[in-house]
Amino acid sequence: MNAPLNLFASVPKRSSRAPTAPFLPMSRAEMDKLGWDSCDIILITGDAYIDHPSFGMALVGRLLEAQGYRVGIISQPDWTSVEPFRALGKPNLYWGITAGNMDSMVNRYTADRKIRSDDAYTPNAEPNKRPDRAVTVYCQRAREAFPGVPVIAGSIEASLRRIAHYDYWSDKVRRSVLFESKADLLIFGNAERALVDVTRRIAAGENIRNIRDLRGTAFLVPHGWMPDEEWSVHNSTRVDVPGRIDAHPNPYAMAQEDTKACATENAQPEPEVKPVVIMTREERQAAAREKARKTVVRLPSFETVSTDPVMYAHASRVFHLESNPGNARALVQQHGDRDVWLNAPPLPLAMDEMDNVYDLPYARAPHPSYGKAHIPAWEMIRYSVNIMRGCFGGCTFCSITEHEGRIIQSRSEPSILREIELIRDTTKNFAGTITDLGGPTANMYRLACKDKNIEQSCRRLSCVYPTICSNLGTDHSKLISLYRKARAIPGIKKILIGSGLRYDLAVRSPEYVKELVTHHVGGLLKIAPEHTEQGTLSKMMKPGIGAYDEFKRLFDKYSIEAGKKQYLIPYFIAAHPGSTDEDMLNLALWLKKNNFKLDQVQTFTPTPMAMATTMYHSGKNPLAKVTEDSEVVETAKSGKTRKLHKAFLRYYDPENWGVIREGLRRMGRADLIGNGERHLVPASDEGATMVREDRRVPGGVPKGRTIEVAPKRAARAGERGERKPANAPFAPPPGKAKPSILATIKSKPKR
C-alpha cells in the first residue's frame, strides 16, 4: 500500500471552493439558502448534530467540506420509515453512516441490559431516538432510500464490530457488521485518511467495489480472494499444538541398523545451495516489513469462533497483536462463502494534519434547529479542548486502543492556544474556565517511543504494563509548558483537567503532579485505580495499587503546599473478569479502611472487541498464548454475583446490606457482620451502629465513640449524590450532618 498524501495536500484554493456553510445543512431549505441543488455526501448520525470537533460527524463533515465537497447531515432520523432518509435528496457520491460517538447498544442499555432513561447525545436527553445496532439499521434504510448509491459505514460502532465479535446484549457471537448492514466499505479507527482518499477516488469515477488498497478499511470479498499473486497467507486458524515427538533411540541398544530402510524412508533430496546474505539490522527490518506488507493473516472463521470459545480467544489475541500500524498485517476471516478482509490499520496523523483538522471553521454550537434544548454531551464539552488522540495504556476493558490506536497523535501548542482563545471570544456564556485540556488520557500529550524504528517493530499490547517500557518517553515538560501558556491567556481564569489521568506515568514527573495539583484541580480530581487486587489488575492490564498510593502521596503533599483542600475521587469496576468474590471483598475493606464512600460505581460491560470481553465470553486469557489447557479466567456472569460485586463497592448503603450479609455468610466471612469498627456491614438494618478509629481529622470522632447511623438518613444522602473524600469521618456526628465535598468547594470564598 502506498503512503497516503497529507490530508490537505490537494485542498483546492478557497477562491475556487464553495463558501463555508454556517452549519452543514440538515434540510432542503438550508440547501436552497446555500444555493445547492444536491449534496455530494450525506452523513447520517445517531447523535444530535453539534458543529464541534468533539463530535465525529461534525469533524468528518467539515474535513470533507474543506476538500471542496458539499456535505449534508441527517441527524437521528426516524428509522421506522424511509422518508426521513430522503430529506436531502440523493447524494452524488455516497452515504456516510455512523451510530454516533458511542456504540448504540452501550448508549441505550445499562450493564444490566436495562434500557437507559436518557441519552446524553439527544436534545433534552430524550431516550429512544436511535435504534439498536444503529449502523445496520441506518445502512439498510439509506440503501432503500436510493438504491445504487455507495454506502460507507464508520465510527466506533462499526469499527469495533468489523470482524466476528461477542455481543453481550444477545449473548452470542455475531458476524461482522458488514454482513447485516450491507455496507460497501467499512472505515475503522481514525477515518480521516481513508475517507479523504476514497472520496477523491469516487469523485474521479472509480467504482467503490474496486477500492481495496486503503489502510483502515474493511470489505467483503469472495472466499480466497487475494489482491494479487504476490500476496501470501499466514494461517492462524488453529491454536498452536506440539508436533509429533519421536522417541529418542537407546544409545546402548545393540539392534542392527537397517541401512536399506534408512536409504528409502529417510532419503532426502539434494539440498538447494543458496548464497549466504549478510544483512544489517535495518535491512532485515525493512525486508520483514516488506514481507508483512504482502501477507494476510487468516483468522479462524466465524463458524468456528461462534461455537468454540477457545478459538474465539485465540482469534482475539491474534487480532490485537496485529494492531501496530508500523508492522500490522492485513487480516481475513471467513464467513460462509465470503471473507471479511481488513487492511492494515491507518497511519497516525502528523501534528500539522491534526492542527488543520481542529482549525476547521466549526460553528462550535448545536444546530439552530434544536433551539434552546439542553444537550448534556454538549454541555459537558463546550468549554473543553481536545489536545491529543490515542492511548498506549491498553486497558483490556477499554476500546480506545482498538479504535484510535496506541500511537499518540498530538496537536501543536499554537493550535491548542488558538482554540482556547476562540472559546473565550465566541462561546456563549463562557465565564473564563476551560473545563478540560485532554483527550482519552490527560497526560499522554506528546509522549512517544524514544526510537521510531523500535516503535514500528513493537508488538507489545501496552507500553505501560506490566511495567513502563524503558523505550517510552515519560517527560511531561511539553505538557507543563502547555498548561502554563494556556492559563496565561488573558481572560482565562482557570484551566481544569477533566480527562482521566494515567497516574503511574504522572509519578515519573513530580514536577507535572505539582503543576497539576497547584493550578488545575478544582477541588476534586477523578482517578481510576479500578481495583486493588493484583489478580484482577493483571486481567485489566492496570498498575498495582502501590502506584496509586505514590500518586496520592504526591497529590496530598502538593495540595498542602498550595494551601488547598483537594480530594481524589477514585473509580473502580465491579464484576470485571478475573475478579472473585474475595477480590471484591478485599476491595470493599480497602475502601472502608480509607474512608471512601463511592457515589457512582461501574459494573463491567462487555463491549465488542475488548480483550476483557474475550475473557468474559471464553473464560480464557488472551494476554498470553491461548490453548485448551491455558489459564482459565474466573468471571462473574450471573446477575446475583454481579449484584454482590457492585454492592461491595457501596458497602455503606443500607440498600446493599442484605445482599452483602448473604454474600459474606456464603463466603464463610460472617465475622465481618456486626457493629464494631472491624465489621463491614451491621448485623441488622435498624439501629445499626459503627465504630471508627480516631484519625484526628477535622470533624473526626474521638476514639472508641459509637455513632448511630440512621439507615433512612444514609439512604437520603445517597440519593442526594453526596461523595465522601478520603480521610473524612466514617459518619457524621449525631445532630450535625457533614456537608458534601461539592458543597464545601462551592462555598469557598473567592480570592
Please report, in range form, the residues annotated as the binding site for [4Fe-4S] cluster.
391, 395, 398
Sign of CA dihedral 445, 399, 599, 635: negative
DSSP string across 93-151: SEEEE---SS-HHHHHB-TTSPBPS--TTSGGG-S--S-TTHHHHHHHHHHHHSTTS-E
Strands (E) across 328-467 are located at 330-335, 338-342, 365-366, 384-386, 388-389, 409-410, 433-434, 436-438
The residue among 362, 398, 391 whose CA lies nearest residue 378 is: 362
Q: How many CB atoms sit inside 10 A of residue 529's CB?
A: 23
The residue among 448, 451, 457, 446 whose CA lies nearest residue 481 is: 446
Map residue 644 onto helix, strand or coil: helix
Q: How far apart are CA 102 and CA 468, in angstroms?
A: 30
Q: How far is CA 106 from CA 152, 164, 408, 616, 646, in A?
A: 22, 18, 25, 16, 19
Q: Are 619 and 637 in contact (CB under 8 A)?
A: no
Q: How far apart are CA 349 and CA 351, in angstroms?
A: 6
Residues making up the annotated binding site are: 391, 395, 398
Q: Which residues of 607-643 are buried (b: 16+ CB within 10 A; e: fewer)?
A: bbbbbbbbbbbbbbbbbeebeeebeebbbbeeeebbb
The residue among 691, 692, 697, 690 whose CA lies nearest residue 726 is: 697
Q: Is 252 exposed, middle or buried (0-12, 13-18, 19+ CB in 10 A)?
A: exposed
The residue among 522, 542, 523, 521 whose CA lies nearest residue 532 is: 542
The residue among 714, 709, 671, 676 whose CA lies nearest residue 693 is: 676
Q: Is 586 exposed, middle or buried (0-12, 13-18, 19+ CB in 10 A)?
A: middle
Q: Cα 220 to chain center, whole Å?
A: 26
The residue among 329, 326, 342 whose CA lies nearest residue 212 is: 342
Map residue 507 onto helix, strand or coil: coil
Q: Are 69 and 202 in contact (CB under 8 A)?
A: no
Q: How many CB atoms sit inside 10 A of residue 571's CB?
A: 15
Q: Cα 247 to chain center, whole Å?
A: 50
The residue among 279, 298, 275 whose CA lies nearest residue 290 is: 279
Q: How far apart are CA 485 and CA 414, in angstroms?
A: 10
Q: Cα 33 to chain center, whole Å?
A: 39
DSSP string across 396-436: TT--HHHHH-SS-EE--HHHHHHHHHHHHHHSTT--SEE-E
The residue whose grid cell reads 434500557 is 115
Q: Which residue type sits at 50?
A: I
Q: How far apart are CA 629 and CA 616, in angstroms?
A: 17
Rg (CA), the chain: 29
Q: How far is CA 616 from CA 285, 631, 632, in A?
A: 37, 13, 11
H-assigned helices in 248-332: 259-265, 281-293, 302-305, 309-321
- Indicate the angle between helix axes 510-519 and 477-487, nearest 10 degrees: 20
Q: Which residue type sits at 524?
A: L
